[in-house]
Amino acid sequence: MDGPDARNYFINMSVSAATAEQFVDVPGGSVYVRIWTPARPLSRVPLVLLHDSLGCVETWRDFPSLLSARLGRPVIAYDRLGFGRSSARSDLPSIRFISEEAEICFPAIRQSLGLGRFVVMGHSVGGSMAVVCAGCLARDCDAVVTESAQAFVEDRTRQGIIEAKASFRDPGELGKLAKYHGDKTSWVLRAWTDVWLSAEFASWSLKDELPGVQCPLLAVHGERDEFGSSRFPEMLCRLAGGPAEKLIIPGCGHVPHREKPDVVLEALARFLSNR
């Protein structure tokens, strides 16, 4: 089933899904967590969502609910420290912030929620974090999905960030961001632009982490992604230590789960059908 009818089916299926929320203590503060549980569970292994550089739980919109219903498994999303409803931060992330999320915060959240085996999916920089999580916790990670993930610092990435930074000089654009982050908004923007555009971060890549990813990997990428070319999913699949496949979506930009939700949902259902 695909097209508009499929989307209506997913929405109807998700209406009766239970939703829970809580705050979890991690080093440096507390993070906001939301959990979607399907009405008809097919798997107890949860899928954990990691948001992008300007995101939070709310910016996933209805995707977690649709995903939980389509996959028949719990979906968990959380706001990283400094974002959304989680504790504010005063210090900017270090140039190791991607690895630190996987090494410090994600394990603390897993422990607090009592999670055993899991699947992890991340959008944009959240996809980069998902790769490191899969490598650090290889014994418990059943699969990893990246969506528009950066694998290194590409010229297109830097140019996209420079243009986005300029657009936020418009109070209206900044106000859209403040809807999700409130008085943390300026920090959220700086945490993205200042770190990614710094000279110290220019040499960052996932090349050393990818061989440690032993579980199956699916790299989803939009053909017209304004923040990175197809070189990203190609590198993810080439260097991953386990089986890997890529999905390049025609006519799609940086946010496939919003631009082409049916395609993404179907791809995930197929990829995770036996996991």
Tokens 């990435």, located at residue: 157
b or e along 218-244 (b: 16 or more beta carbons within 10 Å of the residue's beta carbon)?
A: bbbbbeebebbeeebbebbbebbbbeb
Query: What does the pLDDT look like over 60-94, one tens digit per residue?
Result: 999 999 999 999 999 999 999 999 999 999 999 99
Q: What amino acid is encoded at 50 in this protein?
A: L
d(CA 105, CA 102): 6
Helix, strand or coil, per DSSP, at residue 54:
coil
DSSP 129-160: HHHHHHHHTTTTEEEEEEES--SB--HHHHHH
The predicted structure's pLDDT at residue 154? 97
Domain around 184: 4-271
The predicted structure's pLDDT at residue 18? 86
The predicted structure's pLDDT at residue 129? 98
Q: Of the candidates 78, 64, 86, 82, which has an alpha carbon nearest to the alpha carbon of residue 11? A: 64
Task: Report the DSSP pairing between strands 75-78 and 29-37.
Answer: antiparallel
pTM reported for the whole predicted model: 0.93
Q: Mean of the pLDDT values across residues 169-194? A: 96
How many degrees, rounded to 5, is the angle at CA 110 between CA 109 and CA 116? 170
Structure tokens at 176: 């859209």
Query: What does the pLDDT look like over 214-273, one tens digit per residue?
Result: 999 999 999 999 999 999 999 999 999 999 999 999 999 999 999 999 999 999 999 999
Domain count, the chain: 1
Tokens 């899991």, located at residue: 118
Query: What does the pLDDT look like over 101-117, one tens digit per residue?
Result: 999 999 999 999 999 99
Q: Given a cut of 50, is residue 140 above it in pLDDT?
A: yes
Q: Of the candidates 174, 164, 274, which has an alpha carbon nearest to the alpha carbon of residue 216? A: 274
Query: What does the pLDDT look like over 11-58, one tens digit per residue?
Result: 334 444 689 999 999 999 999 999 999 998 999 999 999 999 999 999
d(CA 251, CA 261): 13
Taking the alpha carbons at both ends of the chain, their separation in whole angstroms is 21
178: CATH: 3.40.50.1820
The predicted structure's pLDDT at residue 155? 96
